[in-house]
Amino acid sequence: MSEQPASPSAADPLSGGASPAGDQSVEANPYGGVAASGGPKRVRTRHFRNAKRDGIKITGLTSYDQLTARIFDRAGIDFLLVGDSSGNNVFGYETTLPVTVDELIPLTRAVAGAVERAFVIADMPFGSYEVGAEEALHTAIRFMKETGAHAVKLEGGVRSAEQIRRVVQAGIPVMAHIGYTPQSEHGLGGHIIQGRGEGIEQLLADADAVQDAGAFAVVLEMVPSDAARQVTERLDIPTISVGAGPDTDGQLLVWTDWAGLTTGRVPKFVKQYADLAGILGQAAAEWRDDVADGRYPGPEHSYE
């Protein structure tokens, strides 16, 4: 899924071109939409499995609005996560814990409505699935019906297996999330790397549990590279790294971190690819000065 063209085409190694081997029954969407219109071929859960099988790296970014969703989609990013990280990056909360389903639904709807190719995953926030399997199913159904998302994500391994199983049984794809789980940061004692020492046994048990429950992929967050490699080799489903080293099947990052918009320290695993805070700050200051000095608006920006 890496090295995507700016405008995905039949050469797209993840979802473009002819139907994957063994998928000869896959046809154009009979109900309309992108697949039937000749546009880019939508990434599906089967493409995640095929990518792991073929050794193709999967790429994912967070997105919370239609502008970034469209940009990332055209850049060939394979999946977009509308994360509860919006708590820190959109709503200004200190943690992800206050984020609600009602807050995430309009963000997810905006992202899903903007993309043609990328697979859109809605994050299930804290308090929306912990009570049990039926609560998890109710939340997942809301996201699928009200946003146009293609899957949901929830945190927890063994403790969340029944919730994952129930949602999957209803026909809704689930991406699992184990290792460091931000919604449990107080229970974990803070931002602590998981899977070290004896912790590897719990990590492996969690990995087995989410695969057995039917998750189509699993996020590994803040675990040692060697532990992530063991999980990746152990599982048939793809593993997605958030600070879990290079030997997983794919990578996921919060986009504001690598784009240079995050204030303060960013995690060790983040590589900064741009300084958007600097660029936007400079542009805003130039506009302010132009207005103050009478240079904007000029004749070319005015109507006669």
User: What size, in residues, is the chain?
Assistant: 304
- How confident is the model over 173-182, as pLDDT tens digits? 999 999 999 8
Beta 250-253 vs 79-82: how paired, if at all? unpaired
Judge if the upstream peptide bond of residue 40 is cis by omega within 30 degrees of 0.
no
**What is the value of pTM for the model shown?**
0.89
Residue 35 to residue 3: CA distance in whole angstroms: 22
Q: List the alpha helices (DSSP H) in 148-188.
A: 161-169, 185-188
- 155 annotated ligand-binding residue: yes
**Which pLDDT does position 35 carry in this prediction?**
44
Helix (H), strand (E) at residue 207: helix 199-213
- 23 annotated ligand-binding residue: no
What's the mean pLDDT when you consider all of the chain?
A: 90
- 41 annotated ligand-binding residue: no
- How confident is the model over 36-77, as pLDDT tens digits? 455 689 999 999 999 999 999 999 999 999 999 999 999 999
Per DSSP, the residues of 6-70 read SS--TT-TTT-SSPPTT-TT----TT-SHHHHTSPPPP-HHHHHHHHHHTPPEEEEE--SHHHHH
Q: How far is CA 269 from CA 4, 200, 253, in A?
A: 23, 20, 9
Residue 202 to residue 196: CA distance in whole angstroms: 10
**Which pLDDT does position 15 carry in this prediction?**
73
How is domain 41-273 classified at the CATH fold level?
TIM Barrel (3.20.20)
**Which pLDDT does position 38 carry in this prediction?**
59
- How confident is the model over 231-262, as pLDDT tens digits? 999 999 999 999 999 999 999 999 999 999 99
**Which pLDDT does position 1 carry in this prediction?**
63
**Which pLDDT does position 190 carry in this prediction?**
73
Ranges in the chain, pLDDT < 50: 2-5, 7-10, 17-25, 28, 30-36
Catalytic hit among 103, 201, 221, 304: 221
Residue 185 to residue 190: CA distance in whole angstroms: 5
**Which pLDDT does position 263 carry in this prediction?**
84
Spell out a b/e string for 189-203, using b for 16 or more CB atoms within 10 Å of the CB, else e: eeeebbbeeebbeeb
Collapsed DSSP state (helix, strand, coil) of residue 283 = helix
134 is catalytic: no
